[in-house]
Structure 1
């Protein structure tokens, strides 16, 4: 599993392009995340199977309820702390109107995908370890009702990212790496926001004390608890345990590489990176809904 390989959306054709379209439509987001691009580049057939197995997880009203609860769990915990989330207007950052719209739109996309990635990583990681996903005990209609088509629909803009962080953000990037426990590469959200150095430098200076506070620790804990509770109750458990993959002919080396990949994504830095996404969106006043009746 070469994690430097990716099949980009512009390169996808045939059924691969169809899978990417399905991911975007199912996630209600204008992006195909790195994990899918890498899996597709390394093992297209396995990616198609895996996506077909996990897709139903994201299609129920219960998932919609979870997705807004995830966002509220993060923001409510942060708002209960001693430090307020900053809120920026265009004039505060010295950006042109088109620049500010693009910045806000791309940050909004990350707000949409945060709970979806949290569930994806938890479901696949558990399944590949042979741990249970879903117990069938959720008797609510929401467990199997379709997710509202309007929820998070038409939010955000397709993210673009820098390859190299601008020199003027060297100190900011160092602070980001230290806080999230990163070695070299920055997560996608930071390589995206680095396109607007004035914003990222200002936002990090204001948010670093928030992220280092007990309130953000609670935010991460509550977001994780919400994710675990949802994954415990999904009505359509995927068949991607090691024995399932062996049955379809997946070799042991590939299974091991998948296990290692998703274990890495479901633990460590991601535990603070994903909850930070709604916070960044909130600074630009584009965080999504926080309740669903």
Structure 2
């Protein structure tokens, strides 16, 4: 299964947490609890736009996400992405931020946001990979399919959802930076992570300016591909105690929309997340 950007970027319909109720609210709360996260990510909010698909996906993946193998995989992906991003030789921004007047506690606040997303995005990559794998007719699991529970702490240092700098909150330079992000990455939206980091506009302008020349370069693309392959191999060997399979997930998705539509949404996020993870690991290395 190769990393694949859809030829036409599909529309996505993530519904923010403050607008949900009933079943979707219950899903959001349960997923946050199982994944040990303070907020929902765009990928899972977009998946929940297809309720039958989401219900079947989460039915099967809930015990997987609560298992020791899944949480061990998160650590492995974190270590992998940190090591790989370091090969791009990111330059430190600490002196520049100090020169702008950033106090150590403010830099620690940026680090905390990066750390929270560093945890959550690995989980979303695994979920998106499993969804795409099954929608393309693949499978995962082993003969025993026993999912030993995870008892450790995969906590983030961020106890509450990040404050997001939405485009209508931002001044002209930040809106222009958002436009550059969309053009450079080739997507019609600005990821949650970048909007959270733009809470510190002068920092994020420096960080994005440093990263931008790396994007789409051969070394950067190679790192994204390697992370994709690592995630795929981990997913193939996860336990599957609920017997989640391609036929059941495709049937559920087809009750919500054309199967091709749901598949393209899964491909979009499964393509996007490796790059996002590498980019944030690059930012982490700068601090």
The TM-score normalised by the length of structure 1 is 0.77
Q: Which runs of 5+ in 2 are unaligned?
A: 1-9
2:83 maps to which residue? 76
Which of residues 275, 278, 282 in structure 1 aligns to 2:281? 278
Q: How far off is 1:123 after superposition?
A: 0.2
Relative distance call for 1:24 and 1:66 in structure 2 (3 A) is same
Do residues 228 (structure 1) and 237 (structure 2) align? no
Relative distance call for 1:212 and 1:104 in structure 2 (3 A) is same
Deviates more, 1:230-239 or 1:157-166: 157-166
In 2: Cα distance, 1:204 partner to 1:249 partner? 37
Relative distance call for 1:211 and 1:68 in structure 2 (3 A) is farther
Aligned residues: 274
1:22 maps to which residue? 30
In 1: Cα distance, 2:101 partner to 2:159 partner? 21
SS at match of 2:94: coil
Relative distance call for 1:230 and 1:5 in structure 2 (3 A) is closer
The TM-score normalised by the length of structure 2 is 0.79
Q: Which runs of 5+ in 1 are unaligned?
A: 285-293
1:205 maps to which residue? 209
Contact kept in structure 1, 2:165 and 2:195, CA below 8 Å:
yes
Do residues 194 (structure 1) and 198 (structure 2) align? yes
In 2: Cα distance, 1:228 partner to 1:78 partner? 19
Relative distance call for 1:25 and 1:87 in structure 2 (3 A) is farther
2:12 maps to which residue? 3
Bigger relative contact order, structure 1 or 2 (CA pairs below 8 A, ≥6 apart) = 2
Contact kept in structure 2, 1:130 and 1:242, CA below 8 Å:
yes
Relative distance call for 1:217 and 1:38 in structure 2 (3 A) is closer
In 1: Cα distance, 2:268 partner to 2:14 partner? 17
Cα RMSD (Å) = 3.2
